[in-house]
């Protein structure tokens, strides 16, 4: 699971053009799980950004 998380973070940080290269390594079922995890990671990052901005505004 740590390896998957690391790969997801690398994909999130990479330019969008590179995102399709790694997905070819998964079968369809795994790829769906990867896309789901990626979306959850994006939502989590957005949540943390929002909370961080709110904390900065409070000061």
Query: What pLDDT is attached to residue 45?
Result: 93
Q: How many structural domains does the chain have?
A: 1
pLDDT digits (tens, 9 = 90+) for 2-45: 787 777 777 776 655 544 555 555 556 677 888 889 999 999 99
- Domain of 28 in residue numbering reads as 1-57
pLDDT digits (tens, 9 = 90+) for 23-33: 555 556 677 88
Euclidean distance between CA atoms 1 and 19, whole angstroms: 19
Euclidean distance between CA atoms 36 and 14, whole angstroms: 18
> Do residues 31 and 23 touch, judged by C-beta distance below 8 A?
yes
């Amino acid at each position: 699971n740590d390896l998957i998380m690391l790969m997801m973070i690398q994909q999130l940080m990479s330019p969008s053009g590179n995102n399709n290269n790694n997905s070819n390594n998964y079968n369809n079922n795994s790829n769906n799980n990867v896309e789901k995890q990626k979306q959850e990671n994006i939502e989590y990052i957005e949540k943390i950004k929002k909370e961080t901005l709110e904390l900065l505004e409070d000061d």
